[in-house]
């Protein structure tokens, strides 16, 4: 125990070696068993006594062998590392999408204020972590500081990166006009730089495409994804992700032949490039594109196995999203009992205000109307409307509002149906104006 200035007791932060040893002993694993196939028992002994520092790759392997999340292994650990080693480990964590444990390391490096590691690089790594974790305010605060640096030093490349990330933050807030403004400025800034950065250009184009898709400009979105493809010539994983986005965009436009063509290309690239977890997510989205095909039933066990794996790994919300997909899949194919069962599983796993819950309530409303339980059907339909309004999902909102109005008309409540449709009309105009679209 340590004593703070105020006399309060706090726990010491254990070293990495102590944490590995404690976890190993709790699991009842010997040093030889832990080392098997990974490294030598001698190295395990040196790591546990803090006489050796594992590489990030070894650290990930040890966490897997100990059957604990990497974040649990690193949480609260005191890294007594030289700055460059700490920065290298933090960057490795970010590249491996281990954002939470990377943040303390990056913050420590910022506090040290040493010169060998560029401050701007630390800021950008932290920004990426916060954005990926959904921490919009933290990311925005860092970006505002970086923006001031850009104005002082006239660094055009850094300014383009800052504008790109400001677009991402605005997108997190569902503020699409501001997101488009920043991202368009990032693209304009990139055109002024003599040294071409194709990776950043591709990321900016992908963001522009996604934003156009979000505001309903699907045809423009497809063009931007096609342009991004030209910049992904040597990056198989990014090329695969772009093929998948194109498949989904063409599916929305009901251009099924093009959607299927790009879905096949996405499968080939992603099987070769992606990590196991990332591949699961891509596979789920690809299978959902096939939900209207004659052999849709074959996809259900595969999607179900993905949900179960997420549950086993403690990723309850991800599992809920997959169950919501399964519910929609079954509903589209008139398997109403199965749709209800998967929708209920999704409800148990997802937060009440999560955007995917709109889809879940929509499925449940259809099922209850089918069962002639109009009271529950209307309740779920109203919940779907609230969630779609909250998250600005116009296309989904329109579908449930039409269903609601049909229900009211069938009951003879013509005035309420008219008022709801009129309210939706005003909401739609307001949303489109906010997104820069004037009818």
CA distances to 110, 147, 168, 200, 404 from 141, rounded to whole Å, are: 15, 10, 13, 22, 42
pLDDT tens for the chain, residues 1 to 439: 333 333 333 334 567 788 888 888 888 888 888 888 888 888 888 888 877 777 767 777 888 888 887 777 776 665 555 677 778 888 888 888 888 888 988 888 888 766 677 888 899 999 999 999 999 999 999 999 998 888 787 788 899 999 999 999 999 888 888 899 999 999 999 998 877 888 899 999 999 999 998 887 888 999 999 999 888 777 777 888 888 888 888 877 878 788 878 877 877 776 655 445 555 565 566 666 655 555 666 677 777 777 887 888 788 888 888 888 888 878 878 888 999 999 999 999 999 888 889 889 989 988 988 888 888 988 898 898 888 878 777 667 777 777 777 777 777 877 777 777 777 666 666 655 655 544 4
- State the pLDDT at residue 3: 38
CA distance 226 to 58: 39
CATH class of 88-195: mainly alpha
DSSP 424: H
What stretch(es) of the chain map to CATH 1.25.40? 88-195
- State the pLDDT at residue 170: 93
Which helix (H) or strand (E) is 2 found in, with range? strand 2-3
- Based on its alpha-carbon atoms, the radius of gyration of the chain, rounded to whole angstroms, reads 25
CA distance 159 to 408: 53
DSSP 298: G
Asked if 244 and 272 count as a contact pair (C-beta separation under 8 A), the reply is no
Asked if 3 and 9 count as a contact pair (C-beta separation under 8 A), the reply is yes
Q: ∠ CA(116), CA(119), CA(122), 5° rounding?
A: 105
| Sign of the alpha-carbon torsion through 334, 337, 338, 340 | positive
Q: In the chain, helix, strand, coil percent, each to 5?
A: 75, 0, 25
CA distance 43 to 46: 5
Fold of the domain spanning 16-68? 434 Repressor (Amino-terminal Domain) (1.10.260)
- State the pLDDT at residue 181: 92
What stretch(es) of the chain map to CATH 1.10.260.40? 16-68
Burial of 123 (0-12, 13-18, 19+ CB in 10 A): buried
For residue 39, count other CB atoms closer than 10 A to its CB.
18
CA distance 437 to 439: 7
Asked if 302 and 290 count as a contact pair (C-beta separation under 8 A), the reply is no
CA distance 268 to 255: 21
Query: How far, rounded to the nearest angstrom, does the alpha carbon of residue 280 sit from its chain's CA centroid?
Result: 13
CA distance 255 to 250: 5
Residues whose CB falls within 8 Å of the CB of residue 4, separated by 6 or more in sequence, listed in order: 10
CA distances to 54, 121, 405 from 87, rounded to whole Å, are: 14, 10, 57
DSSP 21: H
Beta strand 2-3 pairing with 9-10: antiparallel
What SS3 class is residue 14? coil
CA distances to 127, 133, 186, 223 from 139, rounded to whole Å, are: 5, 10, 17, 30
């Amino acid at each position: 125990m340590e004593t703070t200035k105020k006399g309060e007791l706090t726990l010491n932060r254990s070293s990495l070696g102590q944490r590995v040893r404690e976890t190993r002993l709790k699991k009842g694993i010997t040093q030889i068993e832990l080392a098997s196939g990974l490294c030598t028992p001698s190295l395990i002994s040196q790591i546990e006594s803090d006489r050796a520092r594992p590489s990030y790759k070894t650290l990930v392997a040890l966490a897997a062998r100990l059957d604990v999340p990497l974040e649990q292994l690193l949480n609260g650990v005191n890294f007594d590392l030289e700055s460059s080693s700490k920065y290298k480990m933090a960057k490795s964590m970010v590249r491996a999408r281990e954002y939470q444990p990377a943040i303390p390391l990056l913050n420590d490096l910022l506090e040290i204020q040493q010169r060998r590691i560029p401050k701007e690089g630390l800021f950008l790594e932290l920004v990426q972590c916060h954005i990926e974790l959904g921490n919009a305010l933290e990311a925005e605060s860092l970006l505002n500081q970086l923006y001031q640096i850009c104005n002082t030093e006239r660094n055009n490349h850094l300014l383009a990166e800052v504008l790109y990330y400001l677009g991402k933050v605005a997108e997190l807030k569902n503020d699409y006009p501001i997101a488009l403004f920043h991202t368009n400025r990032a693209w304009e800034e990139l055109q002024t730089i003599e040294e071409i950065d194709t990776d950043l250009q591709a990321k900016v184009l992908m963001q522009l495409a996604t934003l156009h898709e979000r505001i309903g400009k699907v045809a423009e979105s497809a063009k931007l994804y096609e342009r991004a493809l030209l910049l992904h010539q040597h990056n198989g994983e990014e090329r695969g992700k772009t093929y998948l986005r194109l498949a989904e965009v063409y599916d929305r436009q009901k251009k099924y032949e093009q959607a299927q063509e790009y879905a096949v290309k996405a499968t080939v690239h992603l099987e070769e490039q992606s990590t196991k977890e990332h591949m699961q997510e891509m596979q789920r989205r690809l299978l959902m594109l096939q939900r209207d095909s004659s052999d849709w039933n074959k996809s259900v066990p595969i999607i179900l196995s993905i949900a179960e794996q997420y549950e086993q790994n403690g990723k309850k919300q991800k599992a809920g999203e997959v169950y919501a997909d399964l519910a929609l899949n079954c509903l589209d194919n008139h398997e109403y009992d199965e749709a209800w069962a998967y929708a209920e599983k999704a409800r148990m796993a997802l937060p009440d205000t999560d955007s995917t819950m709109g889809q879940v309530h929509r499925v449940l409303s259809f099922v209850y109307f089918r069962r002639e339980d109009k009271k529950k059907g209307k309740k779920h339909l109203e919940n779907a409307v609230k969630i779609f309004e909250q998250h600005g999902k116009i296309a989904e909102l329109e579908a449930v509002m039409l269903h609601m109005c049909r229900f009211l008309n069938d009951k003879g409540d013509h005035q309420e149906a008219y008022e709801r449709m009129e309210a939706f009309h005003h909401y739609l105009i307001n949303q489109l104006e906010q997104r820069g679209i004037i009818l």
